[in-house]
Structures are given as structure tokens and as C-alpha cells.
């Protein structure tokens, strides 16, 4: 079974760097560039609210769409 897709759309959440790795990278970049760089907090998908779609797909094409879980919906 696959894990949950990454918020960033590349790979899976389990492939993302940990908070410690992100902070370490930010510290390394800060030292290299001589300015403070911090790793911003990752957004939680539960906190994101999208507005409704501007257009509703035609009934004949809806069966080809999916619900965001990378699995086609069954008619």
C-alpha cells in the first residue's frame, strides 16, 4: 500500500525531510550566504481551504476525474 502523497506533489509524505533536516539545511544556507534563513512551517492540508471550482465538468467527462487521492472514481 502506498503512503499519502506529499503536499508538494512530488513523492510521498514519508520522503519529505524531517523538521530537524530542514532546520539543519536552513542553518547551513544561513552560514553560507551570511544572512538568517529559517525553514518556514509546513502547511497542513487540513488548514487549506480552496474555493469551489469555477466550472463544473460535463457529465460525460466526470467518470474520468478523480477525487484527489490519485484513484479514479467509480461511476
- State the Cα–Cα distance between residues 60 and 68, nearest whole angstrom: 19
Tell me, yes or no, whether 74 lies in a domain. no
Q: What is the model's pLDDT at position 68?
A: 58
Tell me, yes or no, whether 51 lies in a domain. no
Tell me, yes or no, whether 17 lies in a domain. yes
Q: What is the model's pLDDT at position 74?
A: 54
Owning domain of residue 8: 1-36
- State the Cα–Cα distance between residues 53 and 44, nearest whole angstrom: 21
Whether the model clears a pTM of 0.85, i.e. scores above it, the answer is no
How does pLDDT run across 26-66, given as a tens digit for each residue? 999 999 999 999 998 888 878 888 888 787 778 787 777 76
Tell me, yes or no, whether 64 lies in a domain. no
Domain count of the fold of the chain: 1
- State the Cα–Cα distance between residues 6 and 30, nearest whole angstrom: 26
- Over 70: is that where the pLDDT of 75 sits? no
Amino acid at each position: 500500500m502506498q503512503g499519502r502523497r506529499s503536499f508538494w506533489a512530488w513523492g510521498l509524505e514519508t520522503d519529505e525531510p524531517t523538521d530537524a533536516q530542514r532546520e539543519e539545511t536552513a542553518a547551513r544556507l544561513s552560514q553560507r550566504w551570511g544572512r538568517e534563513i529559517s525553514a518556514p512551517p509546513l502547511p497542513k492540508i487540513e488548514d487549506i481551504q480552496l474555493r469551489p471550482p469555477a466550472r463544473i465538468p460535463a457529465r460525460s467527462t466526470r467518470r474520468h476525474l478523480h477525487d484527489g487521492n490519485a484513484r479514479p472514481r467509480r461511476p
